[in-house]
Amino acid sequence: MNILKKIIIPFVLIIVLLYTILSMYITNIAFQPKRNIFEETPDLYSMSYTNVSFKSADSKDINLNGWWIENEKNTGTIIWVHGLDSERSGGEGKLEMIKEIYNLGYSILTFDLRGHGNSSDAPLGLGIREKNDIYGAINYLNKNLNINKIGLYGISYGGVAVLDAAANYKNESVEIVGIFSDTPYFSITELLTKEVSDRTPIPHFIAKLLKFGIIQSGELLQNMNIEDIEESMKNVSKIDFPMIIISCKNDQRIPVSHPERVFSYTKNSKYVAFDYCEDHGEAFESNKKEFMAEFENYFKNKF
């Protein structure tokens, strides 16, 4: 019996230690974006722009930097929100999308979210804390440019942020007239355990067991309940106006089940699932004509 205890107890302790270390490691990676700086500017696409700076709504210490791309046609104003590890230009191919939106007559504010690009370091919120960055952008447009109606576009992590921003919005001075959410995720714990399974020899059913550890690590290391993201996506039911939810059927990073579940909580909205996208977040690049037709038809007559 003593020999058995000497074998079992160290084995269990090793398993618990490995579980804890792996859970904390995965959580740490999830909350540490790669800081990239834009390589292209709007003028390369024949758009004049102004460098702007403003504060996030939840902290005067979080300084956000971006571009204001004003359009003389003045059809309306779109706040364009990038994805994780990206920046105000959106990365390769996205300034072309911004140009297409500009060609429809819209002015555009695009900026670096907290912890990204040239904006301040701040605790990442996986799309939840970032609503305050979007509120900061809205406040800037209202106070400095007297804009009182805005549309929101967000991709992936940014798609989650714009939905969460609208679901919790309380500013009566500025109206959010529409949301175009491109490939939002529904559950971050599902994505993280999937990444573990995809990138390591760990089987998926074992990786799923890490969910509890990841949630606890989020509370301990980041003072955030990761499951709040899922609750936030359910709260899109509070948004009264119709939205557009985009997905790609072959997306390997954010499976189509995520945008589908987000859509299931919306009211009178439209779900557009493209059959093929070259990569995650490339619905526009792979389906330009159809993508922009959806954008144009959705925002038409909203301003």
Give residue-wise pLDDT tens across range 156-185: 999 999 999 999 999 889 999 999 999 999
Classify each residue of 241-252 as buried b or exposed e, where b means 16 or more C-beta atoms within 10 Å of its C-beta: eebbbbbbeebe
* Residue ranges of domains in the chain: 1-30+188-226, 47-186+228-299
CATH number of 47-186+228-299: 3.40.50.1820
Q: Which of 51-60, 110-119, 130-139, 185-194 has the lowest mean pLDDT?
A: 185-194
CB 138 within 8 A of CB 171: yes
Q: Residue 26: its pLDDT value, please? A: 76
Tokens 């301040």 sit on residue: 120
Q: Going along 114-253, which residue ranges are E strands?
A: 149-155, 175-182, 244-248
**195 pLDDT more than 80:** no
pLDDT in tens, 253-265: 999 999 999 999 9
Average pLDDT in the 53-80 region?
A: 95
DSSP letter for each residue of 76-105 = EEEEEE--TT--TT-STTHHHHHHHHHHTT
Report the candidate in 170, 172, 179 with the shortest Cα–Cα distance to residue 79.
Answer: 179
